[in-house]
Amino acid sequence: MGKLAEIKTKENTASVEDFINSIPDETKRQDSFRILELMQKASGETAKMWGASMIGFGNKIYKSPTSGREVAWFKMGFAPRKANLSFHLLNLKQHAAALEKLGKHKTGEGCLYINKLADVNLTVLEEIINATAKNEH
């Protein structure tokens, strides 16, 4: 087992509810509470703050296939950003078929970005979240 690398964004004891309640945009705040509910139900884990603005569920050690570096991170999570809602769901490629039916979104390396829940098919999003929670990779 390699040495666990120190990263800046770490799990902390800040209140997830207080953080979400501090979001000035009403739609983003309501969407965040809905996502919190979906991810908590799917993962069976209690939400934790990671850094100042990320909400994570569960813990996992990830190993980089290129560097061998290991980091402690969450199994899945999200961040209500100013520009969009950022979902951190590893292995997005496995959700290619579902993503085609999701609605208005963008993807990045392990991230799914949507502006608001009203832009997407919530049933499809819930399927992606549930599949991510079941998958340990």
4 part of a folded domain = no
Number of domains present in the structure of the chain: 1
38 part of a folded domain = yes
**Phi/psi at 55 (nearest 5 deg)?**
-115, 120
pLDDT digits (tens, 9 = 90+) for 74-107: 889 999 999 999 999 877 888 899 999 999 999 9
19 part of a folded domain = yes
Q: What is the CATH number of the domain that holds 101?
A: 3.90.1150.200
6 part of a folded domain = no
From CA 127, how far away is CA 132, in angstroms rounded?
9
pLDDT digits (tens, 9 = 90+) for 21-65: 999 999 999 999 999 999 999 999 999 999 999 999 998 887 777
- In order of 43, 93, 126, the CA distances from 36 in angstroms are 10, 23, 11
Q: Which range of residues forms the domain containing residue 74?
A: 11-134
